[in-house]
A and B are shown apart, each in its own frame.
Chain A
Amino acid sequence: KNQVEQSPQSLIILEGKNCTLQCNYTVSPFSNLRWYKQDTGRGPVSLTIMTFSENTKSNGRYTATLDADTKQSSLHITASQLSDSASYICVVTRNNAGNMLTFGGGTRLMVKP
């Protein structure tokens, strides 16, 4: 079954600290993996997208990694800011499936001062 599992479900950290969010998937055949940030009451905004051959990709303080062999990805946030408080969603695209997206349940991150 094509699934995307994220952990933890929620996380509270202090401003300035780093954190790492995890994403495991069983989606096959794999096309790409995306990380989105969704602020409360807003639509998701793309942070990174990685294909099979890419191991890491950065976007400012966000760094995503991908291990296509173990089907795991992580999103590392460096020097967290209050504005990082949001839900982070891992989305995997299946190849040969009309570009069907499979969404993870998301990690709700709260950054406290």
Chain B
Amino acid sequence: GAVVSQHPSRVICKSGTSVKIECRSLDFQATTMFWYRQFPKQSLMLMATSNEGSKATYEQGVEKDKFLINHASLTLSTLTVTSAHPEDSSFYICSAVGPGQGTGGYTFGSGTRLTVV
């Protein structure tokens, strides 16, 4: 089945630094990738949608200059949290959709736990 690999699984960084999270589709071409944020005991909140080769579309209230998304290839999208602050600590999850993925689509990565200290 379709597999989406997300790295790192957890990261701790100092306040003010930047962190990059990678999301890779391993056995299909991800024409669209989604980035979500999830706070404890809450459901996933869509942050942005990215199509390969295009600028990402951000949801209302999500700062595009803080959460930089790059989807330069059909198998890789990255989310960079710039100048991270403790309030950015959260669980970040990507999902991908693309041809050859099989029925259903929307395969999720395993998530990244970001802790900003």
Contact = CB atoms under 8 A, between A and B. Distances in A.
B91 A41 contact: yes
Interface in B63-97: 91, 93, 95, 97
Contacts of A101: 34, 46, 106
A77 to B, nearest CB: 19
A103 interface: yes
Nearest to B32: A99
B104 A49 contact: yes
Contacts, number: 42
A46 B43 contact: no
B108 A106 contact: no
A105 B106 contact: no
A42 interface: yes
Interface of A: 34, 36, 41-46, 49, 89, 91, 98-99, 101, 103-106, 108
**7 smallest beta-carbon distances between A and B, as pairs:** A43-B108, A49-B104, A43-B111, A103-B43, A43-B110, A44-B108, A105-B43
